[in-house]
Amino acid sequence: MSHSLPSAEFRSALPRPPRLPGRGRFGRSTMYVLCAAAVAAAAVIAAVTPAARAETTAENLVHANALSKAFRNAAEIASPAVVVVRSEAKPKKTAGRGPQRRGENPFKGTPFEGMFPDGVPEGFEFNMPDRQPSSGSGSGVIVDASGVVITNNHVVEGADVVTVELSDGREYKATSIETDPASDLAVVRLADAEGLPTATFGDSDKLEIGDWVIAIGNPFDLETTVSAGIISGKGRELGGVRRAQFLQTDAAINPGNSGGPLINLEGEVVGINTAIASSSGGNQGIGFAIPANLARWVTDQLIADGKVERAYIGVQMGPLDTRMAAKLGVKDHRSGVLVNDVVPGSPAAAAGVQELDVITAFDGQPVRGTRSLQEIVERSAIGKPHSLTVFRDGEQVTLTITVKPLPSDLAQEGGTPQRRAELGSETFYTEEFGLEVRDKTTLAEDGYAGFDGVIVDRVDEDGPAAKAGLGPGMLIRKVGKTPVTTIEQFEAALANESAADGLVLSVRTPRGNLVMLLEKD
């Protein structure tokens, strides 16, 4: 079959190809050059002999096999020390409740609640069924040949019986369990164990994003499962664990992997697998591991003392966003944390730390956020002097601070929001910032005992105060660095402030102290 070219009329209706650069002879020359280059490239490709292609393939296989061998060797080194941790909570005997009081519904919160909407009849008795036993399993890693296993706290939390099974089938009962819920770590000691295989810790601080790692554990009861990936991120924070910054990896981590090791290609433990981010409950390429250096610091104390002693400096910290950093003259909002409050009698108070200081370094280590400072401080030597670098009033100031042990009973003060003041009480309203305040003495003071300031009575819905998060019942303690105890002092302190430049307020809430920046958009 022959093919003819389109008619002239049809060809004229076709879209024209773009013109090559230049005009006339220059454009044709350019086209000739491009064609020649394409022909030359094709010739080069054609010139690659089958032998050359085979050599390239062989070289690629050498590299691939070398990586495969590295994975295999690392897994062979660490796997014998990886164990299955099985926990069991015994059934709890629930005593019969005997005669029920009239109006009391024994099935409240259950599907049978509607059977007794007005409570049970007089003299009616029932016994609650025994709470059923529960069990679970996770992973762990042996760190001492005498039978010391590291795992996650959530793997053994609430367990009455813990059994550990080695990869060779041997089983041991736990004789003691020491836990640190703040870091989600636990140490399990085994009965009558000796000569067990152990894993070696590596230096997790040397890990970089992109480094190869291997996760070993027992997901879904599939014992000694190995998966490979890379370090995807560092310094991740998880809401459920207050005192740890996590490594992020795309190595497959699933239910049952918790407590198992994350290792490097040398077979060293660089993390303890702890959690996943998943919408399905299974691996979706985002797993988290506690860095080995933190795990070792915590578990060494649990092994030696059965508890973890952390240092503290005594400040309430807040994040430093771009707007607050600009207001305080800090060039990089990622380089420091804002001091919201200094605890009286604390190491920070003795060292001269002030509210609105921005802490940028501790012992020369840069501070990148609140968890970063917390982790650096809590592992520092207690009772010894340390350097603390702060940014204050446009200048860098270096202080000397001696940290103390974190008090075991230290807790945030709580309370309920203050009630609105009585009608007729004197107030001060500022339209520019969109808030109205009253003297603290006009309100019940239980929630703010020991703190002076003025109470926020109301805020304008679309004003700077509301947009900053200020709300009724909060206590304004300072305007900038100026303490205010009456509405007259508050009014005077605002005289040289404007929403255009931004207003910094130190605020007390039932949850603690905050620093807020009020400004116009």
Q: Which residues carry out catalysis?
A: 154, 184, 258
Neighbours of 209 (CB within 10 A): 11
Q: Which residues contact 274 (CB under 8 A, 6 or more apart)?
A: 152, 184, 238, 241, 246, 258, 259, 288, 289, 290
What's the CA gap between 278 and 289, in Å, rounded? 15
Over the range 232-249, which residues count as b (16 or more CB within 10 Å of their CB) and which as e?
beeebeeeebebbbbbbb
What's the CA gap between 156 and 86, in Å, rounded? 8
Neighbours of 43 (CB within 10 A): 9
What's the CA gap between 470 and 166, in Å, rounded? 56
What's the CA gap between 185 and 153, in Å, rounded? 5
Instruction: For residue 164, give both structure tokens.
Output: 């550990």
Instruction: For residue 348, give both structure tokens.
Output: 């920070």
- Give the CA angle between residues 143, 146, 148 to the nearest 5°: 40
Instruction: For residue 169, give both structure tokens.
Output: 């089938």
What's the CA gap between 293 and 498, in Å, rounded? 48
Closest residue by Cα to residue 406 from 343, 320, 352: 343
Is residue 390 within 8 A of residue 353, CB to CB? The reply is yes
End-to-end CA distance of the chain: 73
370: enclosing H helix or E strand = helix 370-378
- Give the CA angle between residues 339, 340, 342 to the nearest 5°: 75
What is residue 308's three-state secondary structure? coil
Phi, psi of 151 (to 5 degrees): -150, -175
What's the CA gap between 276 and 269, in Å, rounded? 19
Beta-bridge partners for 164: 85, 172
- Rama region for 13: left / alpha / beta (φ>0; ψ in -120 to 50; rest): alpha
Instruction: For residue 251, give both structure tokens.
Output: 């190595």
Q: Which residues contact 53 (CB under 8 A, 6 or more apart)?
A: none
Phi, psi of 366 (to 5 degrees): -60, 145
- Give the CA angle between residues 441, 485, 370 to the nearest 5°: 110
Phi, psi of 174 (to 5 degrees): -80, 135
Neighbours of 191 (CB within 10 A): 11
